[in-house]
Amino acid sequence: TIQSAIDFSSDGDTVLVSSGHYYECIDINLSNINIIGENLNTIIDGQGECRGFSIGNKSNISIETFLIINGFGSGAGGGVYIAGSNGIHLENIEINNCVAGSGLYDFGGGLYADNSTYWLKDVTIDNNTANTANGLGGGIWNRNSNLNFENLGLIYFKIKIDKILLRKIIAI
């Protein structure tokens, strides 16, 4: 699995991932690592049970060329969750059909970042949801974080507020 390769890695390593459909949730448990998919047919599928990638209190991580689908974060970050981390780079990434849900407050259906510095380049975040009455940030929730981006697309995200479903289409 991809998780096994990361767990086996050391500081400064690069994990190369072949094209394929991977049914797993990846917890990046070390700093200074590159995780690179072969192409956008390198799919991380959370199956509606868990996040595609979780990064907590790490630094200098590069994730490139993945399609992240069907992720679920209880409370925050259905597709990608970044907290207390710096130097996080996401490039050539698509995050689709992910949900932050099941808590009183749900944030960042596609991507959640808190107390972090991160870069998004050539990233598309499409059809993601913050799924409760108080849900915020269907596409991205950026809290106390520095976001730098180039070619970022936020397309069709949903937020539920007081039993009213708001839909928004933004293309950048």
Q: What are 137-167's pLDDT values in tens digits?
A: 778 888 888 888 887 766 655 544 433 333 4
Cα 46 from Cα 22, distance rounded (Å): 9
CA dihedral 168, 158, 172, 17 (to 10 degrees): -160
More reliable by pLDDT, 135 or 128: 128
What is the DSSP secondary structure assignment for residue 163, as one 8-state letter? T
Residue owning tokens 């590069």: 62
Rg of the chain (C-alpha set): 15
Q: Tens digits of per-residue pLDDT, 110-126?
A: 999 999 999 999 998 88
Tokens of residue 55, six digits: 């990064």
The answer to whether residue 7 scores a pLDDT higher than 50 is yes
> What b-and-e string marks burial along 125-150, b requiring 16 or more CB atoms within 10 Å of the CB?
bbbbbbbbeebbbbbbbbeebeeeee
Q: Average pLDDT over the chain, rounded to whole?
A: 86
> What b-and-e string marks burial along 87-100, b requiring 16 or more CB atoms within 10 Å of the CB?
ebbbbbbbbbbbbb
The answer to whether residue 83 scores a pLDDT higher than 60 is yes
The answer to whether residue 42 scores a pLDDT higher than 60 is yes
Q: Is residue 82 helix, strand or coil? A: strand
Pairing of strands 164-168, 157-161: antiparallel
Evaluate if pTM is beyond 0.85: yes
In percent, the amount of the chain with pLDDT more than 90 equals 62
pLDDT score for 169: 41
**Comparing C-alpha atoms, which of 136, 125, 105, 133 is closest to residue 169?**
125
pLDDT score for 35: 98
For residue 36, name the pLDDT band (cuts at 50, 70, 90): very high
pLDDT score for 143: 85
Tokens of residue 122, six digits: 């050539």
**Comparing C-alpha atoms, which of 142, 155, 154 is closest to residue 108?**
142
The answer to whether residue 43 scores a pLDDT higher than 80 is yes
Q: Are 125 and 140 in contact (CB under 8 A)?
A: yes
pLDDT score for 142: 84
